[in-house]
Amino acid sequence: MSKIVVTGKIPNAGLEVLRKAGLNPQAWSQDVAMSREELLKQVQGAEILVTLLTEKVDSELLDAAGSQLKAVCNVAVGYNNIDVAACKSRGVTVTNTPGVLTDATADIALALILMVTRRLAEGERVIRSKTPWQWGMHYMLGTGITNRVLGVIGMGAIGIATARRAKACGMSVIYYSRSEIDSKIADDLGARKVSLDDLLSESDVVSIHCPSNESTHHLIGAPQFKKMKPTAFLVNTARGPIVDEQALVDALKAKEIAGAGLDVFEFEPKINEGLLDRDDVVLIPHLGSATTETRDAMAMLAANNAVAISKGRSPLTPVG
């Protein structure tokens, strides 16, 4: 029987899939993540690893696992924690969990758009800090999103789902994407494909939905902030390293942009100190896929990939 190691705590729904298939996963059951040292020990002899996005799957870990390793099944759609080239060169299959977290993540993108443009977190801080306040015609005015332009960077499933929500709120949509999208979807959204520079200069809200890799590292940095409108907002629900976080702090200080809503951070879980006391940013702790049903679905999809591979079948959602 394949030795399957689940390297982080995942919902029971995922473990059940493995058990029902007759597999007996060795699963980490503590809320606190395993130390690296422990991880390198636990993976020894595994044929399949089920991993979380907090675990770095690199050559060191692959060597520690051993040459019998067949697959790494990530419980996340993003797989920037995995050195896919190192896996490929060892013949190790990598899978992720696309589809099942699309709506949950797009909901968070829309939430951040509304929170940052309407100053909702700032308003909540006023109430919670018991600061005196009074309704007033000029009190805590934000920016409406109706008739404004959303610029989507990365028009995959989550980008499209975010665009749909924004359209329902009266926004128009432009996008920058490596891949072509279905023309019917683009027509329904009335979405126009543009260059990154045009997206930056035309958007009132820029929302990031592309994968994090070498080519998107610091895709948004100092030169890009200078191209944005001083009234525009940046929202990131994809991965932190796509944005140069220090350049973001500098752009906010210089009022090159109006604000940012962030669910992900460059050096997660560390947050750049320069962001912490700013009222023009909304900061939430990587909650994009954090609903019970979504996490169950992610764990089940990763487990089904593991089952397929252990039975010699093709995985459902391979990467690359």
Instruction: Say whether residue 261 binds ligand GLV (CB under 6 A).
Output: no
Return the residue of 151, 221, 288, 315 that touches ligand GLV, per CB under 6 A: 288
Cβ-contact 169, 147 below 8 angstroms: no
Helical segments of 218-286, H only: 222-227, 245-253, 273-276
Told to check if 208 binds ligand GLV by CB under 6 A, we report no
| Residue 123 beta carbon to ligand GLV: minimum distance, rounded to whole angstroms | 27
Annotate each residue in 10-49 with x if it binds ligand GLV (CB under 6 A) or - if it does not, as one string: ----------------------------------------
Report if residue 173 touches ligand GLV, rule: CB under 6 A.
no
Q: How many CB atoms lie within 10 A of CB 124?
A: 11
Q: Give the range of 71-79, 109-117, 145-153, 176-184 binding ligand GLV by CB under 6 A.
A: 71-79
- Told to check if 78 binds ligand GLV by CB under 6 A, we report yes
Tell me if 251 sits within 8 A of 225, measured CB to CB.
yes
Residue number with CB closer to ligand GLV (11 or 288): 288
Say whether the peptide bond before residue 230 is cis (omega within 30 degrees of 0): no
User: Which residues lie closer than 8 Å to 318 by C-beta, 6 or more apart?
Assistant: 93, 94, 95, 305
Integer Cα distance of 202 and 148 in angstroms? 10
Taking CB under 6 A as the binding criterion, the range among 73-81, 82-90, 173-181, 199-207 that sits at the site for ligand GLV is 73-81
- Residue 46 or 264 with smaller CB distance to ligand GLV: 264
Q: Least CB distance from residue 286 to ligand GLV, whole Å?
A: 6
One of 77, 153, 206, 210 touching ligand GLV (CB under 6 A): 77
Using rule CB under 6 A, residue 53 touches ligand GLV? yes
Torsion-angle region of 136 (φ positive above 0: left; ψ -120 to 50: alpha; else: beta): beta
Of 61 and 76, the one with the shorter C-beta distance to ligand GLV is 76
Sequential DSSP letters for 192-235: EE--HHHHHHH-SEEEE-SPPSGGGTTSBSHHHHHHS-TT-EEE
CB 14 within 8 Å of CB 303: yes
Q: How far is CA 189 from CA 22, 95, 117, 154, 308, in A?
A: 45, 30, 22, 15, 36
In the chain, the amino acid numbered 130 is K
Report the residue number, 101 or 173, with the smaller CB distance to ligand GLV: 101
C-beta closer to ligand GLV: residue 3 or 11: 11
Residues taking part in catalysis: 239, 268, 286
**78 vs 241, beta carbon nearer ligand GLV:** 78
Indicate which single residue of 101, 208, 210, 219 sits in contact with ligand GLV (rule: CB under 6 A). Answer: 101
In the complex, minimum distance from the CB of residue 144 to ligand GLV, in angstroms, rounded to a whole number: 29
H-only helix segments in the chain: 12-20, 36-42, 59-65, 84-89, 102-117, 120-128, 157-168, 183-189, 196-202, 222-227, 245-253, 273-276, 292-310
Does the CA dihedral 261-263-264-268 come out positive or negative?
positive
| Segment interacting with ligand GLV, rule: CB under 6 A, options 74-82, 203-211, 217-225, 309-317 | 74-82
- Nearest to ligand GLV of 77, 163 (CB atom): 77
Shortest approach of ligand GLV to residue 81 CB, angstroms?
9
Q: Which residues bind ligand GLV (CB under 6 A)?
A: 53, 76-78, 101, 288-289
